[in-house]
């Protein structure tokens, strides 16, 4: 940016973004946003040119997940704005801090069905934490500041700023403005007052309830990561010696290799995590929202558990499950409060949980995650590939996932020992998320190894962003699980539709993923036999100057287990077929019906 | 803020919102996407023109009132929100109604006098009257007028303020 202060809306917008500390943004120019792209040439901000606006949105999300800083994307009006609706909705459901700038037709043309006009703020109202239509160039620095403030405070989320062309176009008198530092003027947000501190009396009440609990579980959700509370969580769990489950959005918030970690609960959670919640007498929910994928059939969920519910969003408290103690507040501050209150009670105040610990570890021994090795000549088992991928990479590797079976296998079989190493689309379940998200993560964390795990259905939705990765020199690695099917849908048709496979078979031979990868400037490797898996991963890890796509040809018949069938309670968990006889004869997990 | 099982089905909520374009759409959109049903709604600027007050009556059968209030409060443009206890607030609603006069003009005018409604306009064998009162009283008047033949009617939806002590 030039040293002189901007005197028009377009330059002011770019300067305002610099002022917020933006170092990278993802976008694609077009008519209405053109005047803003000119000052970008002189800006310190790196702009990554995407191949589709959806990619820009997911890259901004991946960047935000990995760095904790707000992701920024900028696109033009009309179809570009509608193309970012999916990432906005994704960021809304997963509480990802993101600021999206959209161009809009000039003020006088709004409402006239002008070329590339759409009602962007109207369309995105339901999928943003807030959105703005700026009508005066003078407001730009303040509104950009407000947008970042809203996106990053309280429960984080996406904020969209829609900017008509005339107020950013220096040739138009409407763009004239006098620059001011964005935080030198008061924000005009009289209705926005996020509460950070938990009520100390409620925290003490919660600590007392925890002390009495004989079968407690720390139910940890994505809010713990958003609050950057992994460290105090570890301290709290160790202080109380309470087992921890981490939801799909919270993988890595507590180390998987820790003895108190039970892994992921929910529809495809492991037996111990699901059953421990089910049999618990106290769930301490931290930044989690009792999502239907966690609870299964609600009226059968954790029937004997009292609930402590901590969330920064008061609307989550009691939304799904009534609580005994509900605390509105930032997870980090509340966890620190719980540690203090627990220490005040003294260790002698804690109930004896040795029986509970041994019951839980009994389940862990009896019901590990299992799969059978592939038979010679058969296609690869996805679980085997995932284990090889895990073992062939450092613990701080960032793993970005698409949506489906590979996502569940990744969450199950990877060992997440560090926060912010797992990036996925949990709430919206957006297929095609992984590649752009991985590019965004790599752009934000260039020194870290970033792997995308993807399915063949997902890959075909957003693979073109590998061109972006090549051209922008943001090399990522892709583990493509190709089973020729929309695998998760296939699994449901197999289990719940009498194996009537409708519209789930993609193709056995097209596209040629190796050629496609090469066409996009990446290295393509196809792997078909188990002994090739580890060497291919090692080879991919040796290549740092461009992206690598390793296609693993996997067995479509392989399903994700355990599974709680939709509409069933978590006590009706279906484990791997090889373990089912153990459940039939099991008495310790009394809720686990055969 | 929990709703007791004996609470009436309708609840009145008053939200002070920023007086900006699109705010009503945000509120209405929230209601529809969260599956809350609005029974009536009235909106106008407050004594401070920067803010408007939206008074709405919601059907809370099936939706906990608590969720309605909390979700509304999350809207950035909603500044303040309060649930109005019918026993501690004053509610008024305005009705304009056109009624056939027919043969029973005398009876009709007795009702108008009874309720202290105003005849604003008369002609073509019809009268146009207005009345403002508690919504339940409007229901009563509406029922009394119905036998004469209501040609057209518009009610505003209730507006409410807390009453000044007891």
Residue ending a domain, choose from A130, A153, A184:
A184
| B101 shares a domain with B72 | no
| A230 shares a domain with A154 | no
Question: Cβ A125–B26 below 8 Å, yes or no?
Answer: yes
Chain B positions touching A191 (Cβ under 8 A) are 17-18, 75-80
| B113 shares a domain with B47 | no
The packing angle between helices A382-391 and A405-413, to 10°, is: 50
Chain B positions touching A150 (Cβ under 8 A) are 76
Q: Are A569 and A301 a contacting pair, CB within 8 Å?
A: yes
Give A 74-93 residues with CB within 8 A of chain B: none
Interface test with A, best of B30, B76, B81 (most A CBs within 10 A): B76
Query: From the list A125, A192, A319, which residue is nearest B25 (CB)?
Result: A125
Q: Which residues pair with A216 in a beta bridge?
A: A282
Write the CATH number for B60.
Answer: 3.30.70.260
Chain A positions touching B73 (Cβ under 8 A) are 314-315
| B82 shares a domain with B95 | no
Q: What percent of chain A has pLDDT over 70?
A: 98
| A144 shares a domain with A237 | no
| A413 shares a domain with A487 | yes
Residue A165 among the catalytic residues: yes
CA distance A443 to A452: 14
pLDDT band at residue B63 using 50, 70 and 90 as cut-offs: low
User: What is the chain B residue with the closest CA to A194?
Assistant: B74
Chain B residues with CB within 8 Å of chain A CB: 17-18, 21-22, 25-26, 29, 33, 64, 66-67, 70-71, 73-80
Say what the pLDDT of residue B40 is.
Answer: 86
Size of interface A-B (CB pairs under 8 A): 37
Say what the pLDDT of residue B139 is.
Answer: 93
Say what the pLDDT of residue A584 is.
Answer: 74
Q: A331, A456, A329, A321: which is closest to A402 by C-alpha? A: A456
Interface membership of A318 toward B (CB under 8 Å): yes
Query: From the list B71, B78, B80, which residue is nearest A315 (CB)?
Result: B71
For the record, the structure tokens of B145 come out as 């007028």
Residue showing tokens 């073109």: A464
Say what the pLDDT of residue B1 is.
Answer: 37
Interface test with A, best of B74, B75, B77, B78 (most A CBs within 10 A): B74
Length of chain B: 166
Count the Cβ atoms, other than its own, within 10 Å of residue B18: 18
Residue A301 among the catalytic residues: no
Interface test with B, best of A191, A323, A326 (most B CBs within 10 A): A191
Say what the pLDDT of residue A3 is.
Answer: 59
A377/B2: higher pLDDT = A377
User: What is the chain A residue with the closest CA to B77?
Assistant: A191
What would the mean pLDDT of B94-100 be, rounded to a whole number?
A: 95
Length of chain A: 594
Range of the domain at B104: 91-161
Q: Are B115 and B134 a contacting pair, CB within 8 Å?
A: no
Query: From the list A189, A192, A315, which residue is nearest B67 (CB)?
Result: A315
Q: What percent of chain B has pLDDT over 70?
A: 92
Question: Cβ A133–B22 below 8 Å, yes or no?
Answer: yes
For the record, the structure tokens of A227 come out as 């609050």
Number of domains into which chain B is organized = 2
Q: How far is CA A383 from the centre of its chain?
A: 21
Q: Å from B88 to nearest chain A CA?
A: 25
Range of the domain at A19: 9-184
Catalytically annotated residue among A53, A146, A551, A558: A53
User: What is the chain B residue with the closest CA to A121?
Assistant: B22
Q: Are A381 and A535 a contacting pair, CB within 8 Å?
A: no
Q: Which residues contact B136 (CB under 8 A, 6 or more apart)?
A: none
Residue A568 among the catalytic residues: no
Q: Which residues pair with B47 in a beta bridge?
A: none
Say what the pLDDT of residue B166 is.
Answer: 57
User: What is the chain B residue with the closest CA to A154?
Assistant: B74
Say what the pLDDT of residue B103 is.
Answer: 87
Q: Which residues of chain A have pLDDT under 50?
A: 589-594
| A307 shares a domain with A402 | no
Chain A positions touching B18 (Cβ under 8 A) are 190-191
Judged on CB neighbours under 10 Å (0-12, 13-18, 19+), A57 is buried
User: What is the chain A residue with the closest CA to B16?
Assistant: A191
Number of domains into which chain A is organized = 3
Query: From the list B17, B22, B75, which residue is nearest A121 (CB)?
Result: B22
For the record, the structure tokens of B90 come out as 């004053």
Residue ending a domain, choose from B47, B64, B88:
B88
Question: Cβ B79–A133 below 8 Å, yes or no?
Answer: no
Q: A128, A427, A151, A425: which is closest to A289 by C-alpha? A: A427
Catalytically annotated residue among A165, A174, A379, A381: A165
Residue ending a domain, choose from A124, A156, A184:
A184
Say what the pLDDT of residue B62 is.
Answer: 61
User: Kindly report the CA angle at B118 between B116 and B122, in degrees rounded to 5?
Assistant: 140
| B82 shares a domain with B109 | no
CA distance A349 to A364: 28
CA distance B22 to A122: 8
Write the CATH number for B99.
Answer: 3.30.70.1150
Write the CATH number for A484.
Answer: 3.40.50.970
| A277 shares a domain with A218 | yes
Say what the pLDDT of residue A49 is.
Answer: 98
Say what the pLDDT of residue A173 is.
Answer: 98
What element of type H or E holds A260? none
Query: From the list A150, A313, A319, which residue is nearest B76 (CB)?
Result: A150
CA distance B34 to A243: 35
Write the CATH number for A315.
Answer: 3.40.50.1220
What's the mean per-residue pLDDT of chain B?
A: 88
Say what the pLDDT of residue B87 is.
Answer: 82
What would the mean pLDDT of B63-75 be, rounded to a whole number?
A: 88
Q: Are A159 and A192 a contacting pair, CB within 8 Å?
A: no
| B44 shares a domain with B95 | no
Q: What is the ipTM of this complex?
A: 0.90
Query: From the list A122, A125, A191, which residue is nearest B18 (CB)?
Result: A191
Please give the DSSP secondary-structure letter assigned to residue A198: P
The packing angle between helices A405-413 and A487-496, to 10°, is: 100
Q: Å from A582 to nearest chain B CA?
A: 41
């Amino acid at each position: 940016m030039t040293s002189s202060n901007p005197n028009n809306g377009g330059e002011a917008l770019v300067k305002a973004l610099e002022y917020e500390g933006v170092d990278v943004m993802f976008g694609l120019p077009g008519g209405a946003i053109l005047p803003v792209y000119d000052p970008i040439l002189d800006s310190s901000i790196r702009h990554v040119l995407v191949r589709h606006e959806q990619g820009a949105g997911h890259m901004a999300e991946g960047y935000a997940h990995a760095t904790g800083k707000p992701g920024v994307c900028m696109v033009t009006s009309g179809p570009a704005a509608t193309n970012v609706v999916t990432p906005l909705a994704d960021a809304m459901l997963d509480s990802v801090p993101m600021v999206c700038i959209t161009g809009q037709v000039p003020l006088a043309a709004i409402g006239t069905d002008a070329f590339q006009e759409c009602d962007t703020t109207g369309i995105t109202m339901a999928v943003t934490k807030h959105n703005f239509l700026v009508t005066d160039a003078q407001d730009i620095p303040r509104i950009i500041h407000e947008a970042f403030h809203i996106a990053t405070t309280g429960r984080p989320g996406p904020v969209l700023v829609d900017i008509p062309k005339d107020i950013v176009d220096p040739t138009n008198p409407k763009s004239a403005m006098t620059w001011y530092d964005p935080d030198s003027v008061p924000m005009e947000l009289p209705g926005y007052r996020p509460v950070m501190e938990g009520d100390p009396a409620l925290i003490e009440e919660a600590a007392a309830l925890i002390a009495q609990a004989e079968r407690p579980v720390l139910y940890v959700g994505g809010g713990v990561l958003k609050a950057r509370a992994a460290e105090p969580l570890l301290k709290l769990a160790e202080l109380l010696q309470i087992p921890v489950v981490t939801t799909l959005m919270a993988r890595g918030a507590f180390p998987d290799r820790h003895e108190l970690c039970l892994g992921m609960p929910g529809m495809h959670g492991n037996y111990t995590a699901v059953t421990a919640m089910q049999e618990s007498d106290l769930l301490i929910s931290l930044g989690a929202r009792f999502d239907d994928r966690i609870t299964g059939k609600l009226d059968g969920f954790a029937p004997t558990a009292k609930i402590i519910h901590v969330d920064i969003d008061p609307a989550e408290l009691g939304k799904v499950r009534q609580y005994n103690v509900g605390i509105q507040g930032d997870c980090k501050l509340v966890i620190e409060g719980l540690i203090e209150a627990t220490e005040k009670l003294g260790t002698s105040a804690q109930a004896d949980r040795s029986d509970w610990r041994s019951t839980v570890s009994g389940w862990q021994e009896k019901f590990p995650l299992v799969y059978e090795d592939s038979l010679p000549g058969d296609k690869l088992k996805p679980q085997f590939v995932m284990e090889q991928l895990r073992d062939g990479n450092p613990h701080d590797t960032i793993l970005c996932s698409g949506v489906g079976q590979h996502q569940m296998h990744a969450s199950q079989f990877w060992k997440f020992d560090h926060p912010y190493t797992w990036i996925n689309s949990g709430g919206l379940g957006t297929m095609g998320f992984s590649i752009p998200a991985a590019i965004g993560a790599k752009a934000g964390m260039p020194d870290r190894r970033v792997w995308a795990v993807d399915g063949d259905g997902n890959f075909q939705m957003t693979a073109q962003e590998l061109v972006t990765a090549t051209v922008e020199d943001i090399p990522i690695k892709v583990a493509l699980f190709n089973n020729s099917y929309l695998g998760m849908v296939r699994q449901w048709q197999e289990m719940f539709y009498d194996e009537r496979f409708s519209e789930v078979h993609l193709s056995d031979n097209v596209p040629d993923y190796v050629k496609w990868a090469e066409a996009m400037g990446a290295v393509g490797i196809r792997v078909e036999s188990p002994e090739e898996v580890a060497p291919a991963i090692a080879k991919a890890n040796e290549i740092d100057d461009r992206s690598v796509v390793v296609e693993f040809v996997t067995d479509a018949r392989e399903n994700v287990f355990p599974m709680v069938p939709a509409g069933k309670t978590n006590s009706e968990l279906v484990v791997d077929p090889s373990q089912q006889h153990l459940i039939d004869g099991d008495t310790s997990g009394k809720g686990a019906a055969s | 803020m929990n709703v007791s099982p004996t609470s009436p089905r309708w609840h009145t909520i008053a939200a002070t919102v920023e007086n900006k374009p699109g705010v009503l759409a945000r509120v209405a959109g929230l209601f529809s996407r969260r599956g809350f049903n609005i029974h009536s709604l009235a909106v106008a600027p407050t004594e401070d023109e920067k803010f408007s007050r939206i008074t709405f009556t919601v059907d809370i059968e099936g939706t906990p009132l608590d969720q309605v209030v909390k979700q509304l409060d999350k809207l950035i443009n909603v500044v303040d929100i309060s649930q109005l206890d019918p026993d501690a607030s004053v509610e008024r609603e305005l009705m304009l109604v056109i009624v056939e006069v027919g043969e029973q003009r005398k009876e009709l005018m007795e009702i108008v006098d009874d309720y202290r409604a105003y005849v604003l306009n008369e002609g073509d064998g019809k009268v146009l009257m207005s009345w403002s009162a508690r919504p339940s009283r409007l229901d009563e008047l509406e029922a009394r007028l119905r036998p004469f033949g209501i040609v057209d009617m518009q009610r505003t939806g209730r507006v409410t303020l807390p009453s000044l002590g007891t």
